[in-house]
Structure 1
Amino acid sequence: MRLTLSSPLAAVLLVVLFLSGCGSDSDSQVPLYVLASEGDAYDGERVVTQGVVRRFEDPLHYWIEDQDLNRVELFPHDAVAEHLGEQVQVSGTFRLDERGGRRLTVTRLEALGE
């Protein structure tokens, strides 16, 4: 059987290949309130979210939070420390631990400005 670009089967295969590739490398946009309430659905997933960077000293940790105080801890610290108090958008791998702690390992951070 010979496939040409004009054959219906070739067209279907191209659409399937295109759609299967779409989003495979993209991160899901997930608001902080969703990560706080439905974190188990995103455990181990790459996500993009945003909030204001905050810090606590003892023990030292950083997180982002929204206006309703939904929070996700950020790692590594040196990736976010200079953005304290800023509104940022972060991408990375989300993890939910067995005690309900939410953590995002940051692969990209963008300051959004005020």
Structure 2
Amino acid sequence: MFPTWPRGLAIGVCLLVLSACGGSDSVSQVPLPVLAASPAAYDGDLVATQGVVRHFEDPLHYWIEDEDLHRVEIFPHDMIEPYLGSAVRVVGRFRFSPSEGRKLVLESVELLSEE
């Protein structure tokens, strides 16, 4: 009979390969009106959306918004601050809480145009 460790090793390698293939996080393209209307549906997802960067001083916070004022707060501030007033496409982890609202933790920012 064959030793059990090669079979266990083979099973472990197969599980690792399957989890690597199935565990990849794809980016969902979600317009701001959809995030505003159904935020719980995207909680925890990696999303891409776009809008114009705005801010408020007290307390300091940044967000992106569209023409109809659908908004998502953006973190970290130092990553989005250079784009203040500009149209951007952002990719990041979307979070929603009824008490804290909608926020996106950035992975990347792409400048679309100057406003």
TM-score range normalised by the length of the shorter chain: 0.7 to 0.9
CA distance in 2 between counterparts of 1:51 and 1:100 reads: 20
Cα RMSD after superposing both structures? 1.7
Higher strand share: 2
Name 1:9's counterpart in structure 2: none
Q: How far apart are residue 26 of structure 1 and its match?
A: 2.3
Q: Secondary structure at the match of 1:113?
A: strand
Name 2:36's counterpart in structure 1: 36
Amino acid at match of 2:93: T
User: Structure 2 unaligned runs (5+)?
Assistant: 1-20
Count residues in correspondence.
94
- The answer to whether the Cα contact below 8 Å between 2:48 and 2:89 also exists between their aligned partners in 1 is yes
TM-score (norm 1): 0.77
Q: Secondary structure at the match of 2:39?
A: helix
1:95 equivalent to 2:95? Answer yes
Amino acid at match of 1:68: D
1:77 equivalent to 2:69? Answer no
User: Structure 1 unaligned runs (5+)?
Assistant: 1-20
CA distance in 2 between counterparts of 1:67 and 1:73 reads: 16
Q: How far apart are residue 100 of structure 1 and its match?
A: 5.8
CA distance in 2 between counterparts of 1:68 and 1:57 reads: 22
TM-score (norm 2): 0.77
CA distance in 1 between counterparts of 2:66 and 2:112 reads: 14
* Aligned ranges 1:33-72 → 2 under 5 Å: 33-72=33-72
- The answer to whether the Cα contact below 8 Å between 2:25 and 2:46 also exists between their aligned partners in 1 is no
Q: Secondary structure at the match of 2:78?
A: helix
